[in-house]
Amino acid sequence: MSLASQLIQPPEVSAPRLLGTVLVSELGSSPVTVKISEVEAYRGEDDPASHAFRGRTGRNGSMFEVPGTLYVYRSYGVHWCANVAVGPKGTGWAILFRGGDVIDGMATARSRRGRDDHLANGPGKLCQALGIDGSHDGINLLEAGSPLRLEPGTPPQMVMATPRVGITKAQDLPWRFVAATSSANRS
DNA sequence: AGGATGATGGACT
DNA sequence: GTCCATCATCCTA
């Protein structure tokens, strides 16, 4: 099954299937690759915790684009967070990349992070390691020539589903998915 | 026009 | 574990 076909699904179906895929960044002079180990599903206008809950606005337009579109927003005034739009165009469904492991371009990732560990075990850190910022909002992660791409990988052996992190609404939904073998596991 | 509010991370105790 | 920097965005008036 192709990656594109996985991204057509509803977010709570698509999200766990993105575990084990890889984000390849050629945004800087040398590439960095992160294997995704933690994601969260956001179900557009049906989901009070989603940025898309109140419909399309200036900030969240990319969430309503074709599946594979990158949605980047600033968090707490300082960090960047990256999502990929999923489902049919116009739904506002998206998956937040919450964490992963750097599997290539370690030196570059360490340089960007300014430290040797905890390179991508959080949404802001993941973006920093890959060099993602607001200027990349709206690019297509499925295009072969894109400087930032989502590519197939090895699915994890086991997936844990837990409530989402850092939200105040719809906290009961177990839409955070973590690869059980990941180093990015946090409580 | 102004204020409240984060899908966080890092420093510090 | 606790505290807080920092600012774009959106909602209310």
Give pLDDT, residue A180.
Answer: 84
- A73 CA: nearest nucleotide by C1': C8
**Exposure class string for A170-183: b at 16+ Cβ within 10 A, else e:** beebebbbbbeebe
The whole-number Å distance from A87's CA to B11's C1' is 40
Give pLDDT, residue A187.
Answer: 42
Which residue positions in chain A have pLDDT lower than 50?
A: 186-187
Give pLDDT, residue A181.
Answer: 67
- A124 CA: nearest nucleotide by C1': B8
Structure tokens that stand for A124 in this block: 């802001």
Spatial separation of the C-alpha atoms in residues A162 and A94, rounded to whole Å: 17
Q: State whether the beta carbon of A186 lies below 7 angstroms from any atom of strand C.
A: no
Those nucleotides of strand B lying less than 7 Å from any protein Cβ are 5-10
CA proximity to A71, closest of A172, A164, A176, A150: A150
